[in-house]
Structure 1
Amino acid sequence: MLTSSHYLLRSTQDGSYLSARPNPQQPDRRYLLLFGENFEARSYLNTHAPDFSDRITIETVAGSQLKGVLERWGFVGIAQVQDPLVPTLQFFDRS
C-alpha cells in the first residue's frame, strides 16, 4: 500500500477530503475514502454524487503520503472502497 498510488476525493470549495462515518453515534470518527484507481473514484462520483461532481476533484496520493494526510486532517483510518457502485468499504484503523 505504501509504494502504490491511491486516489482521494477532495472538495474544490474548502479543500476537505470525502470521508466515511460508519457509526452515526460517533460522528468525529472519520475514515478517509481511498480508491485504488482513478476510474473507481470517478465512477463513485458519477453514481452517488452527480450533482456535486463539479465541486470535487480526484487527487492522486502516494502511499507514503497517506500517514501525513490522516494525521493532518484527524482521520482515524482509511475506508478502502472495494466496489464504487454499491459501495462496499473495508475499514482500517490508523493504529
Structure 2
Amino acid sequence: MTLAIRIKDEQWEEQSEVRSLHRRRWVSVTADKNGWCVRLEGSRRVERFPTVTQAIHRGSRLARQHKPSGLHVQYVDGEEERFTYEVPEEP
C-alpha cells in the first residue's frame, strides 16, 4: 500500500467517524392495535404504552439520551409532529 492510499484511507475513516457521531437518530411514536409504540431508530426494542401521552414522554426521554436526535410522532388521524434534540455547543 502506498503512502497516498494509506493517508486517504485514514482520512475516510476519520470522516466516517465524525458523520456517525453527528448523525441524527429518530425515535418514532406510532399507534397500533395494542396501544402506542416507541422505537429508537436502529434498535429492535419496541416499548408499548396505553396512552399517547405516556408514549410521547418516553420517546422524548429516549431522544434526549441519544442527542443529536429527533422525535417523530404519528397520530391516528394522520397528523405528524417532529421535535429535534441537539447536543449543547461547547463554549
TM-score range, shorter chain: 0.3 to 0.5
TM-score normalised over the length of structure 2: 0.34
TM-score normalised over the length of structure 1: 0.33
Query: Larger C-alpha radius of gyration, 1 or 2?
Result: 2
* Bigger proportion of residues as helix: 2
State the structure with bigger RCO (CA 8 A, min sep 6), 1 or 2: 1
